[in-house]
Amino acid sequence: MQLLLIMIVIAGGMGLSIEAGLLGPLGTQVGDLWATFSIFGVGSVLTFLLMLFFSPRNSPSFFSQPSWQLTGGVLGVVYVVILTIVAPVIGVTLTMIGILAGQISKSLIIDHFGLFGSAQRKIDKNRIIALIFIIIALAMVAQG
C-alpha cells in the first residue's frame, strides 16, 4: 500500500512540474496574476464537480473548521505566483528543486514536532542526508 501511495505522490509531483511549465508561458501572455487566477478558476470548477458527485453529503460544515486551516489557500496562491514568475527565468528544473528543498526542510520541522495535527516523526540521520542531497542537487543544477 505504501508503494502505491508513493507512486501517486510521484505522479502528483510530475503534475506540479507540468503546471510550472505551463504557467510561465501563460503568465507571459496574460500576466502573472491572471495566469494564477486561471489556474485556481479551472481548479475550483473541477473541485466543485468532484465534490458534487463524490463528496459525502453528511460531511462537517466547511465554515465550522478552525480558520487557521484555511491559510493553505493563501499559501497555494503564493506558490503558484512564485512558479509563474520564477520558472520562465531560471527554468522548471531549478524552480522545482528549489521548491523541493524548501518543502523538505519545512516538512522535517513539521514532522519532527508533529505540527498541524500531523503524526510526529523525529528528524534522523537519513532525513538530514536526504535534505543534503537535495541541496547538493540544487547547487549542481544552478551551476549548469
pLDDT(61) > 90: no
CA dihedral 52, 55, 58, 59 (to 10 degrees): -120
Dihedral sign computed on CA atoms, order 121, 123, 125, 126: positive
Mean pLDDT, rounded, of the chain: 93
User: Looking at residue 96, what is its pLDDT?
Assistant: 95
Q: What residues contact residue 77 under an 8 Å CB cut-off, 6+ apart? A: 36, 40
Q: Output the pLDDT for position 88.
A: 95
Q: Examine the pLDDT at 2 and tell me if it is beyond 90.
A: yes
User: What is residue 62's predicted lDDT score, i.e. its pLDDT?
Assistant: 75
Q: In the chain, what percentage of residues exceed pLDDT 70?
A: 100
Q: Which residue has the higher pLDDT, 129 or 65?
A: 129
Angle at 89 between CA 30 and CA 76, to 5 degrees: 65
pLDDT of residue 64 exceeding 90: no
- Of 118, 96, 99, nearest in space to 18 by CA: 96
Q: In the predicted model, is pLDDT for residue 59 greater than 80?
A: no
Cβ-Cβ contacts under 8 Å for 8 (sequence gap 6 or more): none
From the list 85, 78, 124, 119, the residue with the least C-alpha distance to 102 is 78
pLDDT of 63 reads: 79
Q: Is the per-residue pLDDT at 4 higher than 90?
A: yes
- Count of Cβ atoms closer than 10 Å to residue 38 Cβ: 16
Averaged pLDDT for residues 111-129: 96
**Cell numbers given for 30:** 496574460
pLDDT of residue 58: 81
Cα-based torsion angle of the residue sequence 99, 62, 66, 106 in order, rounded to the nearest 10 degrees: -10
